[in-house]
Amino acid sequence: MARRGSWRRRIVLLLTLAMVAGAVYTAVAFLQRSETLVTERCTAAGSGGDDLATDQAANAALITAVAVRRGLPARAASIALATSMQESKLRNIGHGDQAGPDSRGLFQQRPSQGWGTTAQVMDPYHASNAFYDALVEISGYQTLDITDAAQQVQHSAFPAAYARHEEMARAFASALSGQTPAGLDCSLRSPDSAGDPATVTEEMTAALGVVPTSTDGRTVLVEASGTRAWSVAQWAVANAKALSITRIDVEGQSWNRQSRKGWQPAQVPAGLVRVTVADAPGN
């Protein structure tokens, strides 16, 4: 009887282990499947449901950051974003069309029309600065309708087309310039590679100018407050996919890539933005 009981206990143990292993396998498979079901998109408060793909959001962040760096109002960024969305779908494309066969870049600027060399108009920083250089020469551009201001810069064959992107442009410009705190959110899958704090610092400085930063392990620390802090934080959200950013803390709020719940209240030191990047997958 003792031997028979021992065998029964072993069978029960094996069955239990098999059930646990099955449950673990099912849970892992579910998580992997749920990751693939995530539609990676970015949205801004007040955009009217006009979301951006992650590469579009990163370009929107760059265009807006150039305006912030130059000390231009969010209205300038709104005009630039509506223009770029109409001209290139906010993508740095390397071709033109029948109307402008040599058009290139985020704003489809033409080297033959004095916007710079082909290499320059394909450089998002040069292209954005060239657009703003032309925009600020327009008297009273801040009070003009977006489509009128954009047309005076671009001289498009379809001047009314810029207006269709006004709501999206205003919402993303307001969030990315820091005028709308916690206004930008991106739904992302888990990062598939480790992030590099040095790369985040380099990209952030290139976009927003000289930003006081230091690092603490895998976290970049930025001394900023108010609108400036939110422009840094939401630039980081827009670039979270490309830079493997997993968490951002600013002004009593936290954005966590894994939770996908948007901005949530958190204990965050005043005057400091914390941008944390992913460790190597599996660590």
Residue 43 lies in a domain: no
**54 shares its domain with 142:** yes
Residue 109, classed as helix, strand or coil, is strand
Let me know whether 163 and 205 are in one domain.
no
135/208 same-domain check: no
Phi-psi label, residue 223: left if phi above 0, alpha if psi -120 to 50, beta otherwise? beta
Q: Do 58 and 158 fall within a single domain?
A: yes
Distance (Å, rounded) from C-alpha 208 to C-alpha 199? 14
Closest CA to 48 of 157, 170, 203, 199: 170
Does residue 2 form part of some domain?
Answer: no
Of 176, 209, 237, which residue is a domain's last? 176
Could you read off the pLDDT of 10-37 as tens digits, one per residue?
666 667 666 655 554 554 444 444 556 6
Whether 202 and 170 map to the same domain: the answer is: no
> Is 94 among the domain residues?
yes
Task: Indicate if 59 and 169 belong to the same structural domain.
Answer: yes
pLDDT above 90 coverage of the chain, percent: 75
Looking at the 3D structure of the chain, how many domains does it have?
2
Q: Assess whether 96 and 212 both reside in one domain.
A: no
Largest separation between any pair of C-alpha atoms in the chain: 99
User: CB count, 10 Å around CB of 16?
Assistant: 10
Rg value, the chain, Cα:
24
Residues 83 and 159 placed together within one structural domain of the fold = yes
Residue 42 host element (H or E):
strand 41-44
Domain assignment present for 268: yes
Q: What is the pLDDT of residues 150-160, one digit of tens each?
A: 999 998 877 78
The DSSP secondary structure of 143-183, one letter per residue, reads GS-HHHHHHHHH--S-GGGGGGGHHHHHHHHHHHTTSSTT-
Contact 106, 99 (CB under 8 A): no
Alpha carbon distance 243, 111 (integer Å): 31
Predicted TM-score (pTM) of this structure: 0.85
In angstroms, the CA 78 to CA 64 distance is 8
Domain membership of residue 38 (yes or no) is: no
111 lies in some domain: yes
pLDDT in tens, 171-191: 999 999 999 999 999 999 999
* 282, pLDDT greater than 50: yes
Residue 11 located in a structural domain:
no
Alpha-carbon gap, residue 86 to 81, rounded angstroms: 9
Query: Where among 143, 176, 209 does a domain terminate?
Result: 176
Here the tokens at position 177 are 């310039």
Asked if residue 37 is part of any domain, the answer here is no
pLDDT at 43 exceeding the cut of 70: yes
CA 279 to chain centre: 20
For residue 158, give its domain range.
Answer: 50-176
